[in-house]
Amino acid sequence: MQNNKNKDPLHGITLEMMLNYLVEKIGWENMSQRIRINCFANDPSIKSSLSFLRKIAWARKKVENLYLAEIGK
């Protein structure tokens, strides 16, 4: 039996890893302009953003999509 590699580009990537990458690559200000959520605009931090994004599915999906768009560049 042949092992199939996981084709999900987010496989093994945590939400915290995505946030750290995005902050490093595009910064909080750019993130807050592209995804309109307060945790990116007002006194942003990884900890507060993780707390919010773990509870709010639509916001997490937007972060995942932004991450995929940025790693695809």
> Is residue 3 over pLDDT 70?
no
Domain ranges of the chain: 15-71
CATH architecture of 15-71: Orthogonal Bundle (1.10)
**Average pLDDT of 19-23?**
98
Task: Give the pLDDT confidence of 29-41 residue by residue, as tens digits.
Answer: 999 999 999 999 9
Q: How much is the pLDDT for 4? A: 55
How would you label 33-65 residue by residue, b for 16+ Cβ within 10 Å and e otherwise?
ebbebebbeeebeeeebbeebeeeeebbebbbe
* pLDDT mean over 51-62: 97
| C-alpha–C-alpha distance, residues 18 and 16, integer Å | 5
Residue 20 CA, chain-centre distance (Å), reads 8
**What's residue 7's pLDDT?**
83
Q: Report whether 70 contacts 21 (CB < 8 A).
A: yes
Q: What's the mean pLDDT in 19-46?
A: 96
